[in-house]
């Protein structure tokens, strides 16, 4: 590990040390290239293999066997000539592959001949009444506390939403002895039918289906039942969450809790690929914006490749394969392997990646979120958490003739706070499309400009040391 | 709201949260330490002064902005506790550092 900051130039810079970035770095190592692996976290592994190097054995056991896979990925980097920089935040990337970063206390601009983005995914932000109350968090946040720090809910927890992570977290909490007060599944019942045509192909990757069924069975045996087809879920409380209310089988219910963890699937974290000017498109099946890439991960911007969940949600194993494929392509572009050699080295990953993808169409249909949840938050529901812009304020702006995302942003400050629209961009697009009848691509996303994360003036000043002397 | 699985952790450090000493464990983030301390509100919003608390814990939502060692607008989920760390609730936009 390097203690000094990154050099001014590398042949290859990989951003993100989760499964895609780690696999990419390992595949690119050993070709005589100058490689830097930059990551925001203090330790490698990304979200999925968080704390993989430091976790106590007992806690790792709670998380299930798949988690252990991260050890080999991280080990390969530790034993390579790749320069790994943790605690490194990226605030800019442009078409010339200039990268703005903060390492330690100071900012720097570096450049690269090839850049692989492996920034992964974020949990899909879905606004509902009360989602800004203290005591309401993402399910992923609960899992991070468990994985990285061995911290669990003290007074029980209500889990709600839709998606595979919700089930996994419930199972992990059950194993950790956490009281699950309710598991509210907001997946619409008719999704079973929607997913049925994709079942035969999913059976080719049946280990995923069996694992899901096993989790459900284990939960049931432990006396934790899942309420299916829940709707109108909301968090209530004055200064913090005190209870959760929801509709189930036509009746209204309320449950007291000091902690609500929700999850509505994951979406690619595209802030950086957007800042770099890469072309993005709306994927109806995954219900998210994705950067356009070819089969080697090349984006629409020359020399910028993207791998893993940052391209589209494929899971940790797909991310590994994609990481290696993009690395091979970058190594080819840098003249270190021939096209023929690249193709030969890529053969297994390409095959395994295809096999991994068998399950995706089924999962995407099964966990397809209803439009009502995405596009129709009530007028008094906060959409932009930073600037506290409600759905009603957004609709008012639309009714005054501002019918694209960026106009709504200018008028309402929606998306202009510290998170720079990460938590509201998608919702705004949905609301504008819903209100105007335009398609999502017509409405478009917020424009993203550097710095994509807040910088202090001190950090900005550190870019120009000569001028401050 | 939260507790440690390990009731007798090693590598303890002492931090202060809003001036009150708390025990934390090396390797915990400031956000985790605050959640464990039972404090509900880690900042109030600049717009309407309503209470907020950590939401994503992975650095993307910026809800856990706190004043850490005198520096405002630090993401508590990205900062790790250290002996003597001072963590304070951030009221509104946060004042300029001392």
Pair A179, A110 in one domain: no
Percent of chain A with pLDDT over 70: 99
Per-residue pLDDT tens for A421-457?
999 999 999 999 999 999 999 999 999 999 999 998 8
Residue A449 lies in a domain: no
Beta partners for residue B67, in sequence order: B88
Partner-chain contact B1 A418, CB within 8 Å: no
Distance from the A337 Cα atom to the nearest Cα atom in chain B, whole angstroms = 37
Residues in chain A: 469
Chain B contact for A416 (CB, 8 A cutoff) = no
Q: How much is the ipTM here?
A: 0.97
Local structure of A72: helix, strand or coil? helix
pLDDT of residue A344: 98
- Long-range pairs, A161-164, Cβ under 8 A, ≥24: A161/A126, A161/A185, A161/A186, A161/A233, A161/A262, A161/A263, A161/A264, A162/A186, A162/A187, A162/A263, A162/A264, A162/A265, A162/A367, A162/A369, A163/A263, A163/A264, A163/A265, A163/A266, A163/A367, A164/A212, A164/A363, A164/A367
* A:B CB pairs within 8 Å: 110
pLDDT of residue A7: 97
Residue given tokens 């939260």 in the structure block: B2
Residue A460 lies in a domain: no
pLDDT of residue B95: 82
Pair A237, A149 in one domain: yes
Chain B contact for A371 (CB, 8 A cutoff) = no
pLDDT of residue A375: 85
Query: Is the link from the previous residue into A451 a cis peptide, with omega within 30 of 0?
Result: yes
Residues in B closer than 8 angstroms to A176, CB to CB, are: 5
Q: Across chain B, where does the E strand assignment appear?
A: 2-4, 12-17, 20-25, 43-44, 51-52, 65-68, 71-75, 86-88, 90-91
Pair A91, A166 in one domain: no
Distance from the B74 Cα atom to the nearest Cα atom in chain A, whole angstroms = 10
- Tokens, residue B4: 């440690």
Instruction: Out of A40, A47, A385, name the one closest to residue B61 (CB).
Output: A385
Pair A168, A218 in one domain: yes
Per-residue pLDDT tens for A105-123?
889 999 999 999 999 999 9
Partner-chain contact A239 B36, CB within 8 Å: no
Q: Across A351-413, where does the E strand assignment appear?
A: 382-384, 389-390
Pair A256, A309 in one domain: no
Chain A contact for B47 (CB, 8 A cutoff) = yes
Partner-chain contact B40 A240, CB within 8 Å: yes
pLDDT band (50, 70, 90) for residue A257: very high
Classify strands A260-263 and A136-138 as parallel, antiparallel or unpaired: parallel
Per-residue pLDDT tens for A56-84?
999 999 998 889 999 999 999 999 999 99
The answer, yes or no, to whether residue A468 has pLDDT greater than 70, is no
Q: Report how far apart, in Å, the C-alpha atoms of A442 and of each of A110, A282, A436 are.
A: 35, 10, 10
Residue A458 lies in a domain: no
Instruction: Out of B29, B53, B60, name the one closest to residue A422 (CB).
Output: B60
Residues in chain B: 98
The answer, yes or no, to whether residue A15 has pLDDT greater than 60, is yes
Q: Which domain covers residue A426, as residue numbers?
A: 376-443
Chain B contact for A308 (CB, 8 A cutoff) = no
B-interface mutation test, from A133, A141, A242, A393, most B Cβ less than 10 A away: A141
- Measured distance CA(A299)–CA(A294) in Å, rounded: 7
Classify strands A98-103 and A88-93 as parallel, antiparallel or unpaired: antiparallel
pLDDT band (50, 70, 90) for residue A2: very low
- Measured distance CA(A463)–CA(A10) in Å, rounded: 18
Mean pLDDT of the A201-219 span: 95
Pair A188, A277 in one domain: no
Q: How many structural domains comprise chain A?
A: 3
Partner-chain contact A134 B47, CB within 8 Å: no
- Measured distance CA(A327)–CA(A59) in Å, rounded: 33
Q: At residue A6, what are phi and psi to the nearest 5 degrees?
A: -65, 155
Per-residue pLDDT tens for A330-355?
999 999 999 999 999 999 999 999 99
Per-residue pLDDT tens for A357-389?
999 999 999 999 998 899 889 999 999 999 999
Partner-chain contact B59 A136, CB within 8 Å: no
Instruction: Out of A42, A385, A418, name the one closest to residue B80 (CB).
Output: A42
Instruction: Out of A47, A54, A387, name the one closest to residue B27 (CB).
Output: A54
Residues in B closer than 8 angstroms to A417, CB to CB, are: 62
Chain B contact for A156 (CB, 8 A cutoff) = no
Out of A280-284, A316-320, A436-440, A460-464, pick the least confident. Answer: A460-464
Residue by residue, what is the 3-state secondary structure of A90-152?
A: EEEECCCCEEEEEECCEEEEEEEEEEEECCCEEECCCCCCCCCCCCEEEHHHHHHHHHHHCEE
Partner-chain contact B45 A388, CB within 8 Å: yes
Chain B contact for A136 (CB, 8 A cutoff) = yes
Helix, strand and coil in chain B, % to nearest 5: 10, 35, 55
Chain B contact for A152 (CB, 8 A cutoff) = yes
Partner-chain contact B2 A151, CB within 8 Å: yes
Last residue of some domain: A232, A264, A296?
A264
- Measured distance CA(B24)–CA(B4) in Å, rounded: 10
pLDDT band (50, 70, 90) for residue B98: low
Q: What is the mean pLDDT of chain A?
A: 95
Per-residue pLDDT tens for B20-62?
999 999 999 999 999 999 998 999 999 999 999 999 999 999 9
Chain B contact for A61 (CB, 8 A cutoff) = no
Residue given tokens 């096209």 in the structure block: A339
Residue A13 lies in a domain: yes
The answer, yes or no, to whether residue A162 has pLDDT greater than 70, is yes
Beta partners for residue A121, in sequence order: A268
pLDDT of residue A176: 96
- Measured distance CA(A339)–CA(A331) in Å, rounded: 10
Residues in B closer than 8 angstroms to A59, CB to CB, are: 5
Radius of gyration, CA atoms only, chain A: 22
Q: What is the CATH number of the domain that holds A89?
A: 3.50.50.60
Partner-chain contact A47 B58, CB within 8 Å: yes
Residue A94 lies in a domain: yes
* pTM (2 d.p.): 0.96
Pair A130, A253 in one domain: yes
Q: What is the largest CA-CA distance in chain A?
A: 70
The answer, yes or no, to whether residue A467 has pLDDT greater than 90, is no
Q: What is the CATH number of domain B12-91?
A: 3.10.20.440
Chain A contact for B23 (CB, 8 A cutoff) = no
Residue A353 lies in a domain: no
Angle between helices A139-149 and B30-37 (to 10 degrees): 100
The answer, yes or no, to whether residue A466 has pLDDT greater than 80, is no
pLDDT of residue B79: 96
Give the sign of the dihedral formed by CA A425, CA A430, CA A435, CA A437.
Answer: positive
Q: A401 burial class (0-12, 13-18, 19+ CB within 10 angstroms)?
A: exposed
DSSP secondary structure code for residue A261 in this structure: E
**DSSP states along A412-446:** H-TT-STTTTTTTHHHHHHHHHHHH---HHHH-PP
Q: What is the CATH number of the domain that holds A439?
A: 1.10.10.1100
Chain A contact for B67 (CB, 8 A cutoff) = no
B-interface mutation test, from A124, A145, A390, most B Cβ less than 10 A away: A145
The answer, yes or no, to whether residue B97 has pLDDT greater than 80, is no
pLDDT of residue A1: 40
* Degrees to nearest 5, angle at CA A128 with A370 and A41: 95
Residue whose C-alpha is closest to residue B69's, from B30, B41, B36, B39: B30
Pair A249, A297 in one domain: no
Per-residue pLDDT tens for A286-300?
999 999 999 999 999
Plot region of A227 (φ>0 → left; ψ -120 to 50 → alpha; else → beta): beta
Chain B contact for A309 (CB, 8 A cutoff) = no
Chain A contact for B96 (CB, 8 A cutoff) = no
């Amino acid at each position: 590990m390097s203690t000094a900051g990154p050099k001014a130039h590398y042949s290859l810079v990989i951003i993100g040390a989760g499964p895609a970035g780690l696999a990419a770095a390992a595949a690119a190592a050993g070709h005589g290239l100058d490689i830097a692996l930059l990551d925001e976290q203090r330790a490698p592994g990304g979200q999925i293999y968080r704390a993989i190097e430091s976790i106590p054995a007992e806690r790792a056991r709670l998380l299930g066997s798949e988690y252990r896979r991260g050890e080999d990925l991280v080990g390969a980097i530790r034993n390579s000539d790749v320069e790994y920089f943790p605690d490194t935040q990226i605030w800019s990337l442009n078409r010339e592959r200039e990268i703005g970063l903060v390492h330690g206390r100071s900012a720097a601009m570096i450049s690269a001949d090839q850049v692989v983005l492996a920034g992964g995914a974020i949990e899909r932000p879905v606004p509902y009444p009360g989602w800004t109350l203290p005591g309401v968090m993402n399910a992923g946040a609960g899992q991070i506390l468990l994985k990285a720090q061995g911290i669990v809910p003290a007074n029980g927890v209500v889990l709600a939403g839709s998606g595979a992570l919700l089930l996994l977290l419930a199972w992990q909490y059950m194993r950790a002895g956490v009281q699950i007060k309710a598991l509210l599944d907001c997946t619409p019942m008719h999704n079973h039918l929607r997913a049925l045509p994709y079942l035969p192909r999913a059976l080719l990757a049946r280990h995923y289906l069996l694992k899901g069924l096993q989790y459900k069975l284990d939960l049931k045996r432990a006396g934790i039942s899942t309420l299916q087809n829940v709707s109108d879920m909301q968090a209530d409380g004055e200064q913090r969450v005190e209870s959760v209310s929801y509709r189930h089988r036509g009746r209204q219910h309320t449950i007291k809790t000091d902690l609500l963890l929700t999850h509505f699937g994951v979406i690619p974290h595209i802030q950086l690929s957007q800042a770099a000017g890469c072309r993005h498109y709306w994927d109806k099946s995954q219900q998210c914006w994705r950067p356009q890439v070819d089969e080697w991960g090349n984006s629409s911007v020359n020399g910028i490749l993207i791998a893993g969940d940052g391209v589209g949600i494929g899971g940790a194993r797909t991310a590994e394969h994609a990481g290696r494929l993009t690395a091979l392509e970058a190594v080819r572009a840098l003249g270190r392997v021939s096209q023929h050699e690249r193709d030969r080295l890529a053969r297994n990953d390409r095959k395994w990646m295809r096999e991994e993808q068998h399950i995706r169409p089924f999962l995407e249909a099964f966990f397809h979120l209803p439009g009502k949840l995405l596009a129709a938050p009530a007028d008094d529901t906060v959409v932009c958490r930073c600037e506290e812009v409600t759905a009603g304020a957004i609709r008012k702006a639309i009714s005054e003739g501002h019918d694209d995302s960026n106009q709504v942003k200018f008028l309402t400050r929606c998306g202009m706070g510290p998170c720079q629209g990460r938590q509201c961009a998608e919702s705004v697009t949905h609301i504008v499309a819903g209100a105007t009848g335009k398609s999502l691509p017509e409405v478009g996303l917020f424009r993203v400009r550097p710095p994509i994360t807040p910088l202090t003036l001190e950090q900005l000043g550190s870019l120009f040391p000569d001028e401050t002397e | 709201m939260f507790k440690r699985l390990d009731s007798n952790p090693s590598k303890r450090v002492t931090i202060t949260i809003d001036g009150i000493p708390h025990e934390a464990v090396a390797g915990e983030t400031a956000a985790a330490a605050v959640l464990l301390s039972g404090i509900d509100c880690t900042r109030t919003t600049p717009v309407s002064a309503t209470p907020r608390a950590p939401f994503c814990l992975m650095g993307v939502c910026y809800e856990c902005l706190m004043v850490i060692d005198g520096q405002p607008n630090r993401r508590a989920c990205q900062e790790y506790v250290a002996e003597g760390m001072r963590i304070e609730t951030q009221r509104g936009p946060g004042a300029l550092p001392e």
